[in-house]
Amino acid sequence: MGGLGKTTLAQLVYNDKRVRDHFDLKAWTCVSEDFDVKGLTKTILRSVTKQTIDDSDLNLLQEELKKKLSQKKFLLVLDDVWNENYNDWVRLSRPFEAGAKGSKIIVTTRNQEVADIMGTASAYQLKKLSIDDCLAVFAQHSLGSDNLLEEIGKKIVAKCDGLPLAAQTLGGLLRGKDDRCDWERVLSTKIWELQEERCDIMPALRVSYYYLSAPLKQCFAYCSLFPKDYEFEEGEIILLWCASGFLDRKEREKTGEDLGLEIFKELHSRSFFQQSSNDASRFVMHDLINDLAHWAAGEIYFTMEYTSEVNKQQSFSRYLRHLSYIPEYYVGGKRFGDLYDIQHLRTFLPVMLTDSSPGYLAPSILPKLLKLQRLRVFSLRGYHISELPDSVGDLRYLRYLNLSGTNIRTLPESVNKLYNLHSLLLEDCDRLKKLCADMGNLIKLHHLNNSNTDSLEETPLGIGKLTCLQTLCNFVVGKDSGSGLSELKLLMHLRGALEISKLENVKDVDCGMCTALPSVGQLPSLKHLTVRGVSRVKRLGSEFYGDDSPIPFPCLETLRFEDLQEWEVWISHGSGQGVEGFPKLRELHILECPKLRGTFPEHLPNSSAMTL
């Protein structure tokens, strides 16, 4: 049975310090319904080595895994196994024999036959929770008062049928709500009584979904595009919500990204999203929550699932607006059928699984995709394509273009016609040499992720006009009349990391001649600042904070000064010496500054590190 807490219990064991210290190696793999021996071997190997493995030969993969496990005491968790084929299990398990005595494999499954096939010990059958234990889970997530828990909470918990997932989601639904009427509405809703033959979704989950606000329902339904066990990043889904228009609000103070972050946190707090066991920066949906998302999505969303009939043509509902699929399952673009059936498509999203093979798109498919004039989200991430046709510029409604991991060498000039573009993702395009010559028309662009694009020759002119930019990972200084550092001065909303390369192209080189530092205190999102080797600076004062800034460095967390040989005086923004007026500063490091005078406190208010 789903929702009993099998995965949660395995996670508690897996992450326990005593367990961590007992084993030489640990690996966690979500198996789900597709028991692909080669894919699972790659995933386990990646979990052990922490590296992506490109080899596609099963024998070579298993030999490598065998070497890594040899004479090592390992713990392996295979989560959510459905496969009943004994021979598949034998093939997968061959490298495990190389492990040292005391190695353990934990398998979670809903199927007793799977346990019989894979197990060497008796299966541990989880039972439903008692009313008291279920109430404890519900109380932990709802934070309700004792009166509400005792009078109404017990009645709600009784409907959870002893399933911790049900208690957890319903608790999240009522979290922070102290009005008795809210609790009574949940208890008395008719959704509990919906006949199972009309809906096979757990009643408690249906209730939790029903009481979401309309924006949360819309954003949650979009997550049905992710296959089961897919691990996604917070920023990844927020950009997709933005591109789909779910976060557009008139007369609002918050940015779409900030609103998306609130929605994400709300869904997480209500247990619709859970933190990944493999990577704390990623999230995953429980299988039953994924089923709920598909139920909520209806015919507007469709995820192409794996089938052995790879050549079968796929037909689509006329209501379809958002489409996703796993590229490695659809070799050459087969099974897309007649793409003219989906002229109203808003989302075309290949979903790359961990260690999945690169996608190969049939030459005839890409031109057809670029005729889908209503696309808002278009991704070719991970595909082996080296050129993007100029017709991409005809997608006038496009807000999200993801070319990460492709082999493209230049970005078509027609991209500059995509006036509505919000996110342009070019991460790991290691052959990319040129962007558009001028990108000044993309005034709505918020995110230009061009990290790991070391071949990029220069950043195009006009980047300074993109005043909405929040993400710019790599700024490449141009030669002669090319883009210069002055382009950056109007980009006041930049967040995250910014790498500036090819500084040898700067016309007026030599920071060492500077006698004052720029007004970096005016950058509202700056979190980490290092000042190094500016040898002629003698004084830090108002020019450093920004004369017109009431609260300089509002987000600064770490500040490091190094090798400022002539620095003598540091005047704070308020009165006194140096570090006053930094509301979030946690770390301060001052190194090799021999002439600096004054006294500093032994500890900062928020300090975790201080070096003087």
Mean pLDDT of 331-336: 50
Residue holding tokens 């991460």? 427
| pTM, two decimal places | 0.71
320 phi/psi in degrees, rounded to 5: -65, 130
Range with lowest mean pLDDT among 123-132, 187-196, 383-392: 187-196
Q: What integer pLDDT is reported at residue 606 of this predicted model?
A: 58
Residues 4-55 pLDDT 10s: 888 888 888 888 889 889 999 888 888 877 788 888 888 888 888 877 666 6
Residues 278-283: contacts with CB within 8 Å, 24+ apart?
Answer: 278/28, 278/47, 278/231, 279/231, 281/233, 281/234, 282/231, 282/232, 282/233, 283/231, 283/232, 283/233, 283/234
Residues 199-222 pLDDT 10s: 567 778 888 888 889 999 999 999
- 8 A C-beta contact, residue 417 and residue 445: no
Mean pLDDT of 177-184: 83
What mean pLDDT value characterizes the chain? 83
- Decide the pairing of beta strands 322-325 and 301-304: parallel
**Side chain identity, residue 390:** D
Range with lowest mean pLDDT among 190-194, 243-247, 392-396: 190-194
Confidence bin at 354 (pLDDT 50/70/90)? low
Q: What integer pLDDT is reported at residue 301 of this predicted model?
A: 92
User: What dihedral angle (degrees, nearest 10) is formed by the CA atoms of 141, 147, 150, 152?
Assistant: -80
Distance, in Å, from the CA atom of 36 to the CA atom of 61, rounded to the nearest integer, reads 13
Residues 70-91 pLDDT 10s: 999 999 998 888 888 888 888 8
Of residues 242 and 248, the one with the higher pLDDT is 242
Q: What integer pLDDT is reported at residue 511 of this predicted model?
A: 66
Q: What integer pLDDT is reported at residue 407 of this predicted model?
A: 92
DSSP SS3 for 473: coil
Of residues 407, 408, 453, 445, the one with CA closest to residue 427: 453
Of residues 582 and 133, the one with the higher pLDDT is 133
Q: Which residues pair with 282 in a beta bridge?
A: 233
Q: What integer pLDDT is reported at residue 309 of this predicted model?
A: 42
Both tokens of 177, joined, read 């709500």
Spell out the residues 6+ positions from residue 47 whose beta carbon is closer than 8 angstroms to its own.
Answer: 26, 27, 28, 29, 278
Both tokens of 375, joined, read 């696309």
Of residues 485, 459, 461, 486, the one with CA closest to residue 473: 459
Ordered alpha helix ranges (H), 143-213: 146-148, 154-158, 164-173, 180-188, 203-210
Q: What integer pLDDT is reported at residue 525 of this predicted model?
A: 82
Q: What integer pLDDT is reported at residue 545 of this predicted model?
A: 81
Q: Is the model's pLDDT at 197 over the cut of 50?
A: no
Of residues 353 and 246, the one with the higher pLDDT is 246
Mean pLDDT of 135-143: 86
Of residues 395 and 228, the one with the higher pLDDT is 395
DSSP SS3 for 587: strand
DSSP SS3 for 313: coil
Q: What integer pLDDT is reported at residue 220 of this predicted model?
A: 95
Confidence bin at 437 (pLDDT 50/70/90)? confident
Q: Is the model's pLDDT at 328 over the cut of 80?
A: no
Q: What integer pLDDT is reported at residue 310 of this predicted model?
A: 43
Q: Is the model's pLDDT at 480 over the cut of 80?
A: no
Mean pLDDT of 269-294: 87
Q: Is the model's pLDDT at 340 over the cut of 70?
A: no
